[in-house]
């Protein structure tokens, strides 16, 4: 893992014969973090989080979108496995997102406020990204995640957000009327 890199490797593939783990080990010295998603976790098992966390920061791209207790249970488990960060949807509401933040402890929480897949994301989710930013800010302790160009409104540091460093490139937000 490289503290000087801004690169986050999206390990969005199915692990066949340990190929993903070998790839992650080879590339990790050049990356700030490695992002894993549901397909690799379901194929390789949750232990893939622990294995990768031995040599890199791991962001679990789970896009959590459930009731508070279920979100809490999932976050507690990935934290036990060594995850550095977790991604959750904000559309499920402030209570569910707050459960993620509280269960995360020192882990970073990234809140999805918009998505990039056309036309699906524009059908509903992206129409409400300003509202989703507000939900995320009220939940506290989150970084915002959305496609470039659709992000507005960067929260002030006193809003309970944890920002800075490499994760800041995920959360480039400006509130209207603020610099």
Write out pLDDT tens, residues 21-54: 999 999 999 999 999 999 999 999 999 999 999 9
Task: Specify whether the CB–CB gap between 133 and 152 falls below 8 A.
Answer: yes
**Residue 115 or residue 171, greater confidence:** 115
pLDDT value for 177: 33
Q: Specify whether the CB–CB gap between 91 and 132 falls below 8 A.
A: yes
With a pLDDT cut of 70, the percent of the chain lying above it is: 80
138 belongs to the catalytic site? no
- The reply to whether 75 falls in a domain is yes
Residue 101 resides in a domain: yes
> What CATH number does residue 33 fall under?
3.20.20.70
Return the pLDDT at 74: 98
What pairs with residue 64 in β-bridges? Answer: 88
Residue 106 lies in a domain: yes
pLDDT digit string, tens, across residues 78-117: 999 999 999 999 999 999 999 999 999 999 999 999 888 8
Per DSSP, the three-state class of 70 is: helix
Residue 114 lies inside a defined structural domain of this protein:
yes
With a cut of 80, say whether residue 155 has pLDDT above it.
no
Listed range (23-27, 146-150, 174-178) with the worst mean pLDDT: 174-178
Number of domains in the chain: 1
Residue 179 is assigned to a structural domain of this protein:
no
Specify the pLDDT at position 2: 77
Domain with 118, as residue range(s), is 8-169
Contact 35, 11 (CB under 8 A): yes
Query: What value does the mean pLDDT of the chain take?
Result: 82
Inside any domain, residue 165: yes
pLDDT of residue 70: 98
pTM for this structure?
A: 0.80
Out of 63, 108, 138, 159, the active site residue is 63
Q: pLDDT value at position 114?
A: 87
Task: Using alpha carbons, select from 11, 87, 76 the residue that is nearest to residue 48.
Answer: 11
């Amino acid at each position: 893992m490289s503290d000087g890199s801004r690169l986050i490797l999206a390990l969005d593939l199915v692990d066949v014969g340990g190929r993903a783990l070998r790839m992650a080990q080879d590339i990790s010295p050049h990356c700030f973090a490695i992002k894993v998603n549901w397909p690799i976790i379901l194929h390789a098992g949750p232990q893939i989080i622990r294995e990768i966390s031995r040599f890199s920061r791991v962001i679990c791209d789970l896009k959590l979108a459930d009731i508070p207790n279920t979100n809490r249970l999932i976050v507690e488990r990935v934290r036990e496995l060594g995850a550095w960060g977790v991604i959750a949807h904000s559309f499920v509401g402030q209570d569910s997102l707050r459960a993620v933040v509280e269960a995360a402890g020192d882990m970073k929480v990234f809140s999805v406020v918009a998505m990039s897949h056309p036309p699906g994301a524009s059908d509903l989710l992206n129409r409400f990204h300003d509202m989703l930013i507000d939900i995320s800010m009220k939940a506290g302790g989150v970084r915002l995640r959305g496609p470039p160009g659709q992000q507005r409104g960067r929260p002030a540091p006193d809003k309970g957000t944890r920002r800075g460093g490499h994760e800041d490139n995920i959360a480039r937000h400006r509130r209207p009327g603020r610099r």
